[in-house]
Structure 1
Amino acid sequence: MGSIKIAPSVLSADMANLKGELDKIAGADYVHFDVMDGHFTGNLTFGVDILKAVKRSTDVPVDAHLMVSNPDETVDWYADAGADMITVHYEASTHLHRTLTHLQQRGVKAGVVLNPATPVCVLESIIDVVDMVLLMSVNPGFGGQSFIPGTIAKLQELKAMCERHGVSPLIEVDGGISSKNIAEVVKAGANVLVAGSAVFKSEDPAAEVALLQKLGNEAAQEA
C-alpha cells in the first residue's frame, strides 16, 4: 500500500495562532484545509486569503476540501492560492469530469468526495481519472464528530473497485479518526487519514501526528 499519510485538519486549530499551530504539525504529510460556504454545509469556515496564509506559513502540502455548492466555478480560486490537491463533492459538482481534468491540466492533484449517504458505485465512471477519493466518515459541517462505522464497508467496496479498474488513487477518510480506530480504517483500504481534534486538541500535536503515522504504517504492513 505504501506509506500512510496523516493530514491534520486546521478546522480544529487555534486560528489566532495559525503559524504556531502549523509549526506543531510540520511532520505531517498534508495540511487538510476545509472550505465550507454556509450553503452546502451549515457552517462557514475559510476562504482564499486564509489558504494563502497557510501556504506562507508551512512547507507541508495543502489538501483543500471544498464543501461548497459551486465547486465547478470556484476551484481556480484555490488552485491560484496554492492548493496542492483539491477535492470536490460528487453531490455538488455538475461537471465533475471536466472540473477534475481541468485541475490536473493546471498541475493540481484532483479528487472527489462522497458524503456518508452517497454510495461508492457512483464513482464507477470517474475512478480512472481521480488522484484521490475522500470518503466522509462523518456528515460534513463540523469538527469533533464520531466516526460512522459503515465507512469500513464503503472503504472495502472502494478498494475492490480500484482493483477492478487497475488504478490506485489515494484513498482518504475524514471524520472521527484517532489512534483508537486508525488501524481498522487503514486495513479496510485508506492510506490518507484526516485528523483534526485528535491532533490539535492533544497535549502534543507533533507527537500525535507521529503516533498516527506509526500506527497507520504498522496496520498497512499487516493488511
Structure 2
Amino acid sequence: MSGLIGKNIGMTSIFLDDGRCVPCTVVKVDPCYVVQIKTIENDGYFSVQLGVDEKKIQKTNKPLLGHFKKSGLSPKKKLLEFKEDSVSHFDLGKKVSVDSFQEGDLVDIKGISKGKGFQGVVKRHNFSGVGERSHGQHNRLRAPGSIGAGSDPSRVFKGKKMAGKMGKKNVTIKNLKILKIDTHQNLIILKGSVPGNKNSYLMINKKK
C-alpha cells in the first residue's frame, strides 16, 4: 500500500544516532480499511479508497450507508483515495496499517493548513507598509499603498496581492523522512513539520 490516513498528534524532538537533535512530528495512524477499489475498466484508473475512524450509523446518510455496505464495513468518518499502479492485491474490507511503511521511507504529507482568518498585506504577503512613523505617518504603517494607476487601465489587475482570508488551504509537504515507526501504538515519527492543526487528518503518500 502506498498511502495511509493519519492524525497530527503534535511536534517533539528526538536524538539521532549521530547525536543530532532534530524536530519531528508524531502522526497517529489508526488501522485503515479498504472501502472501494477503482479499476481502469470501470473508472478509467486504478485507485483505492480508504476509510478510518468509526462513525455512528445515525449520523450517516443513506447513500453513504449503501457505499459502506458494499465492502461490509461500518461507516467511517474520513474517506480518502490513493492512486495505485495495480489493485490486484487489494480486497474490499482489508485492513491496512503502519506495517506497510518502513523506517527511512520518504513520504509526501497532504493536509489542510491552519486558518488565519482575514489578514492584512503585512502578515499575508510580507509587505513592509507605507512610510515610517518619523515622517508624519501615524496610520499608514501597515497599509498596502497604491493598487494601480487611475486613468489607465482604470481597474485593478487580477491577482493583485491584497488583504484577504489566509490559510485553510490544501498543502503538500514533500519528501519527509520516516524516522521511527511504533507498530504497537500505530505511530509514525516524521522529520520536520506537517500542515494543519493538532488532530487534523493527513494524507500520507509513500514515494515511489
Alignment TM-score, normalising by the size of structure 2: 0.25
Question: Higher relative contact order by CA 8 Å / sep ≥ 6: 1 or 2?
Answer: 2
Larger strand fraction of residues: 2
Larger Cα-atom Rg: 2
Larger helix fraction of residues: 1
